[in-house]
Amino acid sequence: MEPDLDRELADLSPELRWREWMRRIEAVLFASASPVPRDDLARVVGQGASVDLLVEDLAADLEGRSFEVAQVASGWMFRTRAAYAPAIRAAADVGDQLLDLNEFDVAVLAAIAYHQPITRDGLKDIFGKEISRDLIGRLHARELIGTGPRSPRRGAPYTFVTTEHFLVAFDLESLRDLPDREQLGDAGLVVDV
């Protein structure tokens, strides 16, 4: 049995207490492979401590480092700064982490993101052709989409929705951060979704 975590740290000065809480948040983010929600981070700091302010101070503390704290998918996680992507690709084995999506794959993923929950028939209506089970399977295997709600009637088709991994992969805090369709058109990205 693990000993109880002293969240309040009453024996420390306010400055040292704050620093310890920041380090605890840093440790949790470092150990987690997925975004950590505010409620989970609040379990390692004192009652009344502002997780948002602690994360802001941690981010400031990391300024100039090769990694940063990013707010994605309703939580926070560590991310390597984009400027270091070429160095990582040159030296590290990250092949299985690359999305490797072609333009049509991205268009289908965008359609799912904008119209979720959506069926394969709904995707067919958008693209004017059947979307292969193989493509849906690849997006599912990469954990970019999952199955959504089904109608309670017998034989109802599966629907598809984006996942937390989708938000992380595209650096989105939530689906509200998707560009609106007009912005996509203005940017020359003609995605008829």
Mean pLDDT of the residues in the chain? 88
Instruction: pLDDT band for 188, please (50, 70, 90 cuts).
Output: low
Residue 45 lies in a domain: yes
Q: Which residue has the tokens 């333009």?
A: 103
Q: Which of 28, 58, 91 is the last residue of a domain?
A: 91
Residues 105 and 178 in one domain: yes
Which residues in 73-97 are b (16+ Cβ under 10 Å) and which e?
Answer: bebbbbeeeeeeeeeeeeeeeeeee
pLDDT digits (tens, 9 = 90+) for 134-159: 999 999 988 999 999 987 888 889 89
How much is the average pLDDT of 83-97? 76
Residue 2 lies in a domain: no
pLDDT digits (tens, 9 = 90+) for 23-39: 999 999 999 988 999 99
Q: What is the pLDDT of residue 85?
A: 82
Q: Which of 36, 71, 91 is the last residue of a domain?
A: 91
| Whole-number Å distance between alpha carbons of 162 and 106 | 12
Q: Which of 32, 63, 91 is the last residue of a domain?
A: 91
- Residue 48: domain span: 14-91
Task: Of 26, 23, 18, 73, give the one whose Cα is nearest residue 50.
Answer: 18
Residue 8 lies in a domain: no
Residue 159 lies in a domain: yes
Residues 59 and 79 in one domain: yes
Instruction: pLDDT band for 185, please (50, 70, 90 cuts).
Output: low
Q: What is the pLDDT of residue 1?
A: 46
Residues 128 and 87 in one domain: no
Residue 179 lies in a domain: yes
Helix (H, G, I), strand (E, B) or coil at 181: helix
pLDDT digits (tens, 9 = 90+) for 114-135: 999 999 999 999 999 999 999 9
Number of Cβ within a 10 Å radius of residue 185: 13
Residue 193 lies in a domain: no
Residues 85 and 148 in one domain: no
Residues 106 and 181 in one domain: yes
Residues 82 and 22 in one domain: yes
Task: Supply the CATH number for residue 66's domain.
Answer: 1.10.10.10
Instruction: Please tell me the total count of domains within the chain.
Output: 2
Instruction: pLDDT band for 90, please (50, 70, 90 cuts).
Output: confident
Residue 57 lies in a domain: yes
Residue 61 lies in a domain: yes
Instruction: pLDDT band for 94, please (50, 70, 90 cuts).
Output: low
